[in-house]
């Protein structure tokens, strides 16, 4: 894998540009984030091929892939395994679970995972369960980390992506578990950015709980 000389080891921050890299995948060579310019993409790492929890996650992502595409997003998997291992694992999932993995999986030698902070120093060379959501401009917008022992919720990743897309389109923020908020009777309401002037604050009264906690329907 070739990578930018400025690519540093460590966890990037939300708001950083995704590092420019060329990677080998089950769909051939790819350049990230360039090949997805103008699209969202969801990159998720797994500890290793042919492991039970990872298999359940890949099946979950594959079954929801159309919903990710409907939001303008592509899926990409990654682990420190060779590409032939990925191909064999995809074949196994197809043959035994009757699920087609139609998104690329990156074959990483370790540099890519280290650059994105995906390798846990206490867990050997295996990658942690990381999720990166990257926007159409190549900016990292969300990062989630799970330990090896805990499988991810694909529905949560999809919900977070939908929330980001909606936030960008509408200029609003999302409450807890949007669109199914459970803490307050907000249902599918969204949150209007807080007022920053006295006049704005006056206009916001009656739009929710208070001028600093204003809500509306989409």
Domains by residue range for the chain, with CATH: 2-152 (3.40.30.10), 171-218 (3.30.1020.10)
pLDDT of 121: 65
Bridge partners, 116 (sequence order): none
Active site residues: 54
pLDDT of residue 188: 79
Q: What is the reported pLDDT for 31? A: 96
pLDDT value for 53:
92
Low-confidence stretches of the chain (pLDDT < 70) are 1-10, 120-126
Strand 40-45 relative to strand 73-79, pairing = parallel
Please tell me whether residue 48 adopts helix, strand or coil conformation.
Answer: coil
Reply yes or no: is the peptide bond before residue 30 cis, omega within 30 of 0.
Answer: no
CA dist 191 and 194 (Å) reads 8
Per-residue CA distances from 159 to 14, 134, 163, 175, 202 (Å): 18, 15, 6, 12, 33
Residues paired with 197 in a beta bridge: none
pLDDT the model gives residue 186: 78
Q: How far is CA 172 from CA 22, 94, 162, in A?
A: 35, 41, 12
Which pLDDT value is given to residue 192? 92
Write down the number of H helices and E strands in the chain: 6, 11
Instruction: Please give the full DSSP string across 50-119, using - where no structure is assigned.
Output: S-HHHHHHHHHHHHTHHHHHHTTEEEEEEESS-HHHHHHHHHHHHHHH-----S-EEE--SHHHHHTT-B
At 159, list the tokens: 């919900």
């Amino acid at each position: 894998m070739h990578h930018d000389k400025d690519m540093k080891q460590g966890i990037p921050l939300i708001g950083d540009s995704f590092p420019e890299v060329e990677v080998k995948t089950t769909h051939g060579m790819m350049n990230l984030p360039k090949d997805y310019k103008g699209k969202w993409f969801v990159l998720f790492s797994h500890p290793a091929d042919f492991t039970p929890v990872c298999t359940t996650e890949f099946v979950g992502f594959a079954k929801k892939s159309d919903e990710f595409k409907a939001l303008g997003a592509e899926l990409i998997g990654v682990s420190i395994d060779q590409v032939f291992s990925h191909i064999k694992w995809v074949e196994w999932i197809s043959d035994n679970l009757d699920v087609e993995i139609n998104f690329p999986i990156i074959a990483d030698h370790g540099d890519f995972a280290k650059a994105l902070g995906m390798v846990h120093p206490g867990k050997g060379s295996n990658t942690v369960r990381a999720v990166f959501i990257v926007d159409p401009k190549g900016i990292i917008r969300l990062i989630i980390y799970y330990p090896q022992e805990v499988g991810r919720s694909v529905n949560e990743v999809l919900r977070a992506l939908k929330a980001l897309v909606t936030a960008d389109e509408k200029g609003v923020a999302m409450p807890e578990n949007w669109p199914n908020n459970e803490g307050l009777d907000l249902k599918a309401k969204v949150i209007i950015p807080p007022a920053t002037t006295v006049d704005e604050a006056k206009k916001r009264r009656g739009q929710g709980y208070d001028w600093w906690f204003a809500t509306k329907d989409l």
